[in-house]
Structure 1
Amino acid sequence: MLLGSAANGNGIVVFKQFRSRQLLSGRISSCKIPSSHFSLSRSHLIRCEAASNAAVSSVPGIEWVQRTFDLPPYKRGCHIITQQIYKAVPEIRNFRVGIAHIFVMHTSASLTINENASPDVPLDMEDALNKIAPEGHHYRHLDEGLDDMPAHVKSSIMGCSLSVPITAGRLNLGIWQGVWLNEHRDYGGSRRLCITIHGQC
């Protein structure tokens, strides 16, 4: 089951579910499907508001929200960003139950969930990661500095995405859990995150 789209005069994109094996390898957002191909009822329509950094769509009882935003530059190490996520994606509070998918759009930073109280844990985590992937001239990829290839290794080990349940307008984390951005470079700069939420409001 795939989605086709057609724009109306108000800048709103109306999506309809559409069956076609021929579309499986294409980008659905760029497909133009004749309206005569749509045979579903109005209850199956999905309305999606196009924006530069956000998209919102819905069917009865189900909502989708997606936001892309930039975090300020962090120094090398592990940083708790749970509150930054709430600020950047205020729609979280509207969801009664759902899932938040958090994705970092870089190859030298990563995401994980870990301790949100003791300041020693992020420091110890950074020390441990440096032991697992130490800097040095033993890598082939040295074009971007000695910290770059170890950053790629750490990013793959820790991962680039998280799925977190949402309950009653909050990320349903354990009492001692927080979402971490792990900055693996000395001067990584601003990091971009894309967060997609699906659930019932």
Structure 2
Amino acid sequence: MRQATTTLSVETRRQGLLEVTGEVIRWVAAQDIDTGLLTVFCRHTSASLVIQENAAPAVRRDMEAYFARLAPESRDYEHDDEGPDDMPAHLRTALTGVQLSIPVIEGAPALGTWQGIYLFEHRTSPHRRSLALHLIGA
């Protein structure tokens, strides 16, 4: 049994879904682990991770619009230390989560045909986000 870890730095430009599948796949392939389990962990409370369709851009737009309606920006929240998008960002993260577990089969994440790994930026301004990757297997 072997383990490997790294941290990916991701630059966001705006609120929304940013695909990181390629970076994750390249890192896993370089580890020479054929069978195992990959954990991807977002080290933030105002950004999250999701696995979602990566073929139709309308899916991403609809998801972004849905979460904007579900947890809208507002000055009505008690926690607004960093502006009106602060608390909605925390709510959206709580609803989507910060960790993914993905089986690794034949040296690659076992994603479905249309599945991609996305960092979901919930803040309106650009940020540098950190993703911790942990791969265990043989």
TM-score when normalising by structure 1: 0.66
Q: Aligned residue for 1:85?
A: 24
Shift of 1:73: 2.4
Shift of 1:86: 2.7
How many correspondences in the alignment? 138
Determine if the alignment matches structure 1 residue 145 to structure 2 residue 80: no
Question: Structure 2: which amino acid aligns with 1:152?
Answer: H
Q: Aligned residue for 1:58?
A: none
Q: 2:72 aligns with which of 101, 117, 134?
A: 134
Q: Identity, % of aligned pairs?
A: 38
Query: What whole-Å deviation, never above 9, does each CA across 1:64-109 have from its counterpart, x for those lacking one?
Result: 00111211223210122100223455434x1211000000000000
The 2-side partners of 1:129 and 1:162 are apart by 19
Tell me, yes or no, if the aligned pair for 1:155 and 1:184 is still in contact at 8 Å: yes
The 2-side partners of 1:188 and 1:194 are apart by 19
Tell me, yes or no, if the aligned pair for 1:69 and 1:88 is still in contact at 8 Å: no
Shift of 1:188: 4.1
The 1-side partners of 2:22 and 2:11 are apart by 13
Query: What whole-Å deviation, never above 9, does each CA across 1:22-58 have from its counterpart, x for those lacking one?
Result: xxxxxxxxxxxxxxxxxxxxxxxxxxxxxxxxxxxxx
Shift of 1:140: 0.0
Secondary structure class of the residue paired with 2:90: helix
Q: Aligned residue for 1:68?
A: 7
Q: Aligned residue for 1:194?
A: 132
Question: Structure 1: which amino acid aligns with 2:42?
Answer: V
Change in 2 beyond 3 A, CA 1:156/1:179:
same
Question: Structure 2: which amino acid aligns with 1:71?
Answer: V
The 2-side partners of 1:168 and 1:81 are apart by 20
Q: Aligned residue for 1:18?
A: none
Q: Aligned residue for 1:43?
A: none
The 2-side partners of 1:109 and 1:88 are apart by 21
The structure showing larger relative contact order (alpha-carbon pairs under 8 Å, at least 6 residues apart) is 2
Q: Aligned residue for 2:95?
A: 157
Q: Compare CA radii of gyration and give the structure with the larger one.
A: 1
Runs of at least 4 residues off by over 4 Å: none
> Which runs of no fewer than 5 residues in structure 2 stay unpaired?
none
RMSD of the TM alignment (CA)? 1.3
Secondary structure class of the residue paired with 1:117: coil
